[in-house]
Amino acid sequence: MPRNPEKFYVTTPIYYVNDIPHIGHAYTTIAADILARYNRFSGRKVFFLTGTDEHGQKVQKAAEQRSLSPKEHADKMVVNFKEMWQMLNISNNAFIRTTDEGHKARVRELLSSLWEKGLIEKRSYAGWYCVPDERFWTEKDLVNGKCPDCGRDVEQIEEQNYFFLMSRYHDALINHIEKNPSYVQPETRRNEVLGFLKSQPLGDLCISRPKKRLPWGIPLPFDEEFVTYVWFDALVNYYSGPQYLAPADTAWWPADVHIIGKDILTTHAVYWSTMLMALELPLPGTIFAHGWWTIEGKKMSKSLGNVVDPAAMADKYGVDAFRYFLFREIPFGHDGDFSEDAFITRINTELANDLGNLTTRTFTMAVKYFAGAVPGNPEAAIEPELLDIASAIPDRIEQHLRLLQFQKALDEIWKLVAYTNKYIESNAPWALAKSPETSGRLAQVIYSCLEALRYLAACLYPFMPSSMEALWKQLGFDEELGQTGLASAIKNTLPAGRKLGGFKALFPRIEKEKKKEIKSQIRRKEVEEKTEGNAAGGGGLIGIEDFAKVKLRTAKVLAAEPVKGSNKLLRLEVDLGDEKRQIVAGIGKSYSPEELIGKAVVIVANLKPAKLMGVESNGMLLAATDAEGMLSVLTTATGIKPGASIK
Ligand code: MSP
Predicted local confidence at residue 1, as pLDDT: 57
Q: Which of 211-220, 380-389, 450-459, 563-572 has the lowest mean pLDDT?
A: 563-572
* Residue 15 alpha carbon, nearest atom of ligand 1: 10
Shortest-distance Cα residue to atom 6 of ligand 1: 235
Q: What is the dihedral of CA 559, 560, 564, 570, to 10 degrees?
A: 140
Residue 610 vs residue 155, higher pLDDT: 155
Best residue among 15, 189, 207, 258 to mutate for probing ligand 1's pocket (most ligand atoms within 8 Å of CB) is 15
Distance 24 CA to ligand 1 centre (A): 7
* Amino acid in position 555: A
Shortest-distance Cα residue to atom 24 of ligand 1: 24
Distance CA 621, CA 583 (A): 7
Closest residue by Cα to residue 142 from 132, 131, 133, 129: 129
Distance CA 395, CA 458 (A): 13
When pLDDT is cut at 50, 70 and 90, the band that residue 358 belongs to is: very high
Indicate the length of the chain as a whole number.
647
Q: Which of 210-214, 332-336, 523-527 has the lowest mean pLDDT?
A: 523-527
* For residues 590-617, average pLDDT: 83
Shortest-distance Cα residue to atom 2 of ligand 1: 15
Range among 399-413, 529-543, 560-574, 576-590 with highest mean pLDDT value:
399-413
CB 525 within 8 A of CB 397: no
Range among 1-5, 262-266, 566-570 with highest mean pLDDT value:
262-266
* Amino acid in position 328: R
Instruction: Give residues (CB < 6 A) around ligand 1.
Output: 13-16, 19, 24-25, 27-28, 53, 234-235, 237, 260-261, 263-264, 292-293, 300
When pLDDT is cut at 50, 70 and 90, the band that residue 2 belongs to is: low
How many CA atoms within 13 Å lie on the side-chain side of 222? 19
Q: Where are the beta strands (DSSP E) in 547-635?
A: 552-562, 570-575, 580-585, 600-604, 610-612, 615-617, 620-621, 623-625, 631-633
Distance CA 50, CA 469 (A): 24
* For residues 60-83, average pLDDT: 95
CB 257 within 8 A of CB 33: no
**Residue 528, pLDDT above cutoff 80:** no
Residue 503 vs residue 49, higher pLDDT: 49
Shortest-distance Cα residue to atom 14 of ligand 1: 25
Residue 525 vs residue 158, higher pLDDT: 158
Predicted local confidence at residue 188, as pLDDT: 97
% the chain with pLDDT above 90: 71
Q: What is the dihedral of CA 385, 391, 395, 397, to 10 degrees?
A: 90
Distance 28 CA to ligand 1 centre (A): 8
Distance 416 CA to ligand 1 centre (A): 35
Distance CA 24, CA 243 (A): 28
When pLDDT is cut at 50, 70 and 90, the band that residue 489 belongs to is: very high
% the chain with pLDDT above 70: 92
**Residue 546, pLDDT above cutoff 70:** no
Distance 12 CA to ligand 1 centre (A): 9
